[in-house]
Amino acid sequence: MRTISENRCFGGVQGVYAHASEATGCEMTFGLFLPKEAEEQPVPVLWYLSGLTCTHENAMVKAGAQRWAAEAGIALVFPDTSPRGEGVADDAAYDLGQGAGFYVNATEEPWSKHYRMWDYIAEDLPRTLFSAFPLAPEAQAITGHSMGGHGALTLAMGLPGRFRSVSAFAPIANPTASDWGRKQLTAYLGADESKWAAHDSTLQLKRRGFDGPILIDQGSSDQFIDLLKPEALAEAIASTRQNATFRMQKGYDHSYFFVSTFMESHIAFHADHLLA
């Protein structure tokens, strides 16, 4: 692992690091905010998964999360959204290829060589983090925005016992029934739709649910709301009686202005469970 940068931030340190990933077969970059408490002891960690076209940097710079994490005494991890670099497959479209890994393990060519983002988030990056930094593996939570909200929800349900809580900002909630999903799942996993279900939070909520609390914020003026399909997830929450709060935020769109507005309440939500 190599250090790209470290900056003092709200009494802690915002770092950016790169490491050789076994899962993706290339160098991956991530951001990590450590609060001042990490100087004395391992601290709880909140994962933030970003959306389409993003890198590790978008939320790290735009979400305003460090202030609230510092007050709560929890770390923040900002992974990249896909493998990158020379020899890594890509596509001219913004919603496929680099910047659009969809947090799945691709099985189809040309994606299968590097696009193993499920394993990267579930196994590879945690192994690196917990061996190198003062983080408490028994106290993890996860959140994300858009494609990252999709990833946060599916990883939380797909890794029982890993995360104490999960939240999402405008997640891609029903990708098997949306153009933001069917295109990518076909490309990465093939045409057999039975292989897609594990990566659809609406379907997973109905099949297995999450053994913990969920918080969802969705802007009512989101320009992509028809692709996100929040109504499907809301119906699944109601029909399964999942322990969840779903908030439709009047007038908000899909941008980081929306994310930063509600970041404080999401971090407070997770802190309640991470520090319990």
Indicate which CATH number applies to the domain containing 245: 3.40.50.1820
How many domains would you assign to the chain? 1
Strand order in the sheet with 166-169: 2-9, 12-21, 26-34, 75-79, 43-49, 135-144, 166-169, 214-219, 244-249
Distance between CA 241 and CA 50 in Å, rounded?
28
The domain containing residue 44 runs over which residues?
2-275
Strand-pair partners of 244? 214
SS3 for 2-31, per residue? Answer: EEEEEEEECCEEEEEEEEEECCCCEEEEEE
The catalytically annotated residue of 50, 146, 165, 178 is: 146
Mean pLDDT of the chain: 98
Buried b / exposed e along 196-209 (16+ C-beta atoms within 10 A): bebbbbbbbbbeeb
Tokens (6 digits) for 57: 């940097």
Q: Are 85 and 76 in contact (CB under 8 A)?
A: no
Residue 260: active-site member: no
167 pLDDT above the threshold of 90: yes
Please calculate the CA angle 34-274-54 and round it to the nearest 5 degrees. 55
CA distance linking residue 262 with residue 142, whole number of Å = 15
Average pLDDT over residues 209-226: 98
Amino acid letter, residue 260: S
pLDDT of residue 185: 98
User: Above 90 in pLDDT, residue 276?
Assistant: no
Q: Which of 200, 217, 222, 266 is catalytic?
A: 222
pLDDT digits (tens, 9 = 90+) for 19-75: 999 999 999 999 999 999 999 999 999 999 999 999 999 999 999 999 999 999 999
pTM over 0.95: yes
**Per-residue pLDDT at 3:** 98
Cβ-proximal residues to 112 (8 Å cutoff; 6+ apart), any chain? 106
Q: What is the mean pLDDT of residues 115-133?
A: 98
Annotated catalytic residue 254: yes
Check 145, 150, 254, 266 and give the catalytic one. Answer: 254
